[in-house]
């Protein structure tokens, strides 16, 4: 027995090797370097700087706001996400995979584009306000959206609901429905079944999704800046202001460290919780768990849910897509009564994308941007899975080992790290051959993988943990090597979760802007980079092109997600 235990530990150590080497080199080393260099500039030393930062009323206010908005945003996201996850997990209906792919698009869109989408819908001259003014004769737009706290919450829900769909929905879709049936046979009503059977079984997946959503909201940057406006600042916004605008590196480092400690705290709580929550389950293939919408009742529920989710997630996308087929017509302005330029339908925004009007050196046709984006995304998926799978496997195998308990929370840290801090860290740490990557495009997929890695781990671990250990033991007893156990038991059973993980890695890479902007080669821009170039210039044509390219980004994302969906390693798991 003792001997076997040691063997297991050694297997785990080897599994940890690649993920930890990667994190050490591309995360801890750059992060440590920039924090050290920043604190070296502090007048009274690091400890003094930290104390001073903590004592500042401004910082306390920012911390309180950061926690408050993240908590509210996470709760609202779960409120919309859990019913949606139920719908996707338990019912089968036509267009479901398209619906799921569409609901994943918000996750990849750059903030400025999302702001444009909401503005087309809820802005002072957006469709909703114009319709309300027309209907009720208001003289002023009745809805104020931009620069409000509500805008922050709505945008966070818009961005992150797909995380709940994917992580909880996928897990739910494999829960054995017989458990529910048994509960009801034993006399429980639907509510009791939900509270006593379903939710406890789902708890690990809900906790994982909530943690990811919370950390995303907690470190929110673009949403706060663009939709929240100047009256709101999260820690991440304050770090940017201190580091870039004021060049107060010690203060920025102290804040970055603070944000990191909060993230670590959350991750530790999560690890503790999830250790108690996870239980081995007989996961069932989806074809046994899902039913068609046969009764009127179920059709009604499904229609209501689809409508609700679409209103939040898909209507803004549609508004954006419609906007890309229109242009403001300068000539028609004087004729129109309301004093605003009128929109006309056109394909010019798309035609213009393929024209290099200024013969500028860094012009890239949309095909190039799409190819570059897909290239980086593919690399991120491969690298993310190659590193995330062994880490998740190690976490799942030895859930209660010291290594797992120590490393699990640490894996979440890249998500809670200030992007600007890490970006500056790359500059000072990776500056000597063979790792002089400061100007290398290889840094792009590496940076994307850092963000994707926690997602891959969180998607895979609950599924891997729910595999009955007896299956593994039986395989081992029958003489299977650890690798055979992996390839014949674990991998097939978590096929779906692998797809979820791959989808996350793909989405993160294809939508990432911050890190890419700092390191991408200008002649090979990704789609988000190209969008920003157009948004940064005045003139109707540039804005139109940004909208057209955003619509292309949505299309590429949806296509990519559907393609991953079709990639049926999952079939293996559907026994």
**Is residue 359 within the footprint of another protein (CB under 8 A)?**
yes
Three-state SS at 18? helix
Q: How would you classify the pairing of strands 342-345 and 326-329?
A: antiparallel
User: CB-side exposure of 472: number of CA atoms within 13 Å?
Assistant: 20
User: CB-side exposure of 216: number of CA atoms within 13 Å?
Assistant: 29
**Is residue 259 within the footprint of another protein (CB under 8 A)?**
no
Among 522, 555, 559, 566, binds another protein (CB under 8 A): 522
Residues within window 36-55 making contact with another protein, judged by CB under 8 A:
37
Q: Tell me which residue of 239, 101, 106 sits closest to 160, measured CA to CA.
A: 106
**Phi and psi of 342, rounded to 5°?**
-95, 155
**Is residue 365 within the footprint of another protein (CB under 8 A)?**
yes
**Is residue 154 within the footprint of another protein (CB under 8 A)?**
no
Between 202 and 396, CB nearer to another protein:
396
Q: Which residues contact 496 (CB under 8 A, 6 or more apart)?
A: 170, 173, 174, 286, 463, 570, 573
Tokens at 437, concatenated = 């990557």
Contact window for another protein (CB under 8 A) among 15-23, 81-89, 272-280, 566-574 = 15-23
Work out how close the CB of 11 gets to another protein at its nearest, in angstroms, rounded to a whole number: 8
Total residues interacting with another protein, rule: CB under 8 A: 102
Three-state SS at 55? helix
Residues within window 440-469 making contact with another protein, judged by CB under 8 A:
441-442, 444-446, 449
Between 274 and 327, CB nearer to another protein:
327
Work out how close the CB of 43 gets to another protein at its nearest, in angstroms, rounded to a whole number: 15
**Is residue 243 within the footprint of another protein (CB under 8 A)?**
yes
Asked if residues 527 and 373 have their Cβ atoms less than 8 Å apart, the reply is yes
**Sign of CA pseudo-dihedral 472, 478, 480, 482:** positive
Work out how close the CB of 320 gets to another protein at its nearest, in angstroms, rounded to a whole number: 13
Among 537, 566, 567, 571, binds another protein (CB under 8 A): 537
Between 208 and 447, CB nearer to another protein:
447
Asked if residues 509 and 376 have their Cβ atoms less than 8 Å apart, the reply is yes
Among 55, 335, 439, 478, binds another protein (CB under 8 A): 439
Question: HEC profile for 277-313?
Answer: HCCCCCCCCHHHHCEECCCHHHHHHHHHHHHHHHHHH
**Is residue 244 within the footprint of another protein (CB under 8 A)?**
yes
Site string for another protein, 398-437 (x = CB under 8 A): ----------------------x--xx--xx--xx-----
Tokens at 103, concatenated = 């609901």
**Is residue 14 within the footprint of another protein (CB under 8 A)?**
yes
Residues within window 62-91 making contact with another protein, judged by CB under 8 A:
none
Work out how close the CB of 331 gets to another protein at its nearest, in angstroms, rounded to a whole number: 7
Among 61, 292, 521, 568, binds another protein (CB under 8 A): 521
Q: Which residues contact 464 (CB under 8 A, 6 or more apart)?
A: 392, 393, 395, 396, 397, 490, 493, 494, 497
Residues within window 297-356 making contact with another protein, judged by CB under 8 A:
327-331, 333-334, 339-341, 346, 348, 354, 356
**Is residue 247 within the footprint of another protein (CB under 8 A)?**
yes
Q: How far is CA 531 from CA 271, 451, 548, in A?
A: 39, 21, 9
Q: How far is CA 152 from CA 13, 163, 221, 419, in A?
A: 42, 18, 10, 20
Q: Which residues contact 149 (CB under 8 A, 6 or more apart)?
A: 69, 228, 232
Contact window for another protein (CB under 8 A) among 92-100, 277-285, 297-305, 541-549 = 541-549
Work out how close the CB of 49 gets to another protein at its nearest, in angstroms, rounded to a whole number: 16
- Report the distance separating Cα 109 and Cα 106, nearest Å: 5
Among 89, 117, 253, 379, binds another protein (CB under 8 A): 379
Contact window for another protein (CB under 8 A) among 85-93, 101-109, 150-158, 536-544 = 536-544
Between 200 and 365, CB nearer to another protein:
365
Compute the C-alpha angle 95/466/568, nearest 5°. Answer: 35
Asked if residues 74 and 213 have their Cβ atoms less than 8 Å apart, the reply is yes
Site string for another protein, 201-230 (x = CB under 8 A): ------------------------xx--xx
Between 46 and 428, CB nearer to another protein:
428
Three-state SS at 1? coil
**Is residue 544 within the footprint of another protein (CB under 8 A)?**
yes
Between 62 and 302, CB nearer to another protein:
62
Work out how close the CB of 133 gets to another protein at its nearest, in angstroms, rounded to a whole number: 12
**Is residue 56 within the footprint of another protein (CB under 8 A)?**
no
Asked if residues 316 and 550 have their Cβ atoms less than 8 Å apart, the reply is no
Asked if residues 516 and 529 have their Cβ atoms less than 8 Å apart, the reply is yes
**Is residue 378 within the footprint of another protein (CB under 8 A)?**
yes
Contact window for another protein (CB under 8 A) among 195-203, 312-320, 380-388, 496-504 = 380-388
Q: Which residues contact 511 (CB under 8 A, 6 or more apart)?
A: 107, 108, 109, 110, 528, 553, 557
Work out how close the CB of 293 gets to another protein at its nearest, in angstroms, rounded to a whole number: 41
Between 64 and 442, CB nearer to another protein:
442
Work out how close the CB of 86 gets to another protein at its nearest, in angstroms, rounded to a whole number: 36
Three-state SS at 147? coil
Residues within window 113-132 making contact with another protein, judged by CB under 8 A:
115-116, 119, 123-125
**Is residue 538 within the footprint of another protein (CB under 8 A)?**
yes
């Amino acid at each position: 027995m003792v001997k076997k235990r040691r063997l297991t530990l050694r297997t785990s150590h080897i599994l940890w090797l690649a993920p930890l080497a990667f994190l050490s080199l591309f995360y801890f080393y750059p992060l440590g370097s920039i924090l050290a260099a920043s604190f070296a500039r502090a007048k009274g030393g690091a400890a003094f700087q930290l104390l001073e930062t903590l004592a500042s009323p401004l910082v306390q206010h920012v911390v309180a706001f950061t926690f408050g908005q993240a908590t509210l945003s996470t709760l609202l996201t779960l409120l919309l996400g859990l019913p949606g996850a139920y719908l996707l997990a338990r019912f089968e209906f036509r267009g479901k995979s398209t619906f799921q792919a569409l609901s994943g698009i918000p996750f990849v869109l750059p903030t400025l584009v999302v702001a444009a989408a909401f503005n087309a819908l809820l802005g002072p001259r957006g469709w909703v306000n114009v319709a309300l003014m027309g209907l009720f004769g208001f003289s002023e737009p009745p809805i104020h959206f931009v620069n409000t706290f509500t805008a922050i919450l709505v945008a966070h829900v818009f961005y992150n609901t797909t995380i709940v769909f994917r992580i909880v929905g996928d897990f739910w879709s494999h829960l054995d429905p017989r458990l529910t049936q048994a509960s009801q046979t034993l006399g429980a009503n639907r509510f009791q079944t939900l509270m006593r059977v379903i939710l406890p079984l789902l708890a690990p997946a809900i906790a994982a999704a909530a943690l990811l959503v919370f950390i995303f909201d907690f470190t929110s940057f673009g949403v706060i800046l663009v939709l929240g406006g100047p009256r709101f600042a999260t820690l991440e916004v304050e770090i940017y202001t201190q580091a870039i605008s004021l060049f107060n590196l010690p203060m920025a480092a102290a804040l970055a460290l603070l944000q990191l400690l909060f993230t670590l705290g959350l991750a530790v709580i999560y690890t503790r919780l999830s250790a108690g929550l996870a239980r081995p389950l007989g996961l069932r293939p989806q074809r046994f768990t899902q039913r068609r919408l046969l009764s009127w009742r179920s059709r009604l529920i499904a229609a209501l849910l689809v409508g609700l989710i679409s209103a939040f997630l898909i209507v803004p996308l549609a508004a954006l897509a419609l906007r890309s087929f229109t242009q403001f017509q300068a000539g028609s302005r004087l004729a129109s009564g309301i004093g605003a330029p009128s929109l006309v339908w056109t394909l010019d925004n798309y035609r213009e994308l393929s024209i290099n009007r200024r013969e500028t050196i860094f012009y890239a046709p949309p095909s190039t941007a799409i190819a570059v984006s897909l290239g980086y995304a593919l690399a991120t998926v491969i690298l993310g899975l190659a590193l995330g799978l062994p880490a998740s496997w190690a976490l799942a195998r030895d859930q209660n080992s010291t290594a797992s308990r120590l490393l699990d929370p640490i894996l979440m840290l890249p998500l809670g790290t200030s992007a600007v801090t890490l970006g500056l860290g790359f500059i000072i740490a990776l500056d000597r051959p063979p790792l002089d990557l400061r100007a290398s495009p290889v840094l792009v997929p590496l940076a994307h993988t850092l963000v994707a890695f926690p997602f891959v781990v969180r998607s895979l671990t609950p599924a891997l943990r729910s595999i009955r250990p007896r299956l593994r033991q039986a395989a081992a007893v029958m003489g299977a090597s650890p690798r055979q156990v992996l390839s014949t038991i674990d991998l097939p059973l978590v096929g779906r979760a692998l797809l979820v993980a791959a989808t996350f890695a793909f989405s993160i890479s294809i939508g990432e802007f911050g890190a890419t902007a700092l390191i991408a080669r200008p002649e090979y821009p990704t789609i988000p980079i190209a969008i920003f170039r157009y948004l940064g210039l005045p003139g109707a044509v540039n804005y139109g092109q940004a909208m057209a390219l955003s619509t292309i980004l949505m299309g590429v994302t949806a296509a990519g997600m559907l393609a991953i969906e079709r990639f049926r390693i999952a079939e293996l798991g559907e026994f």
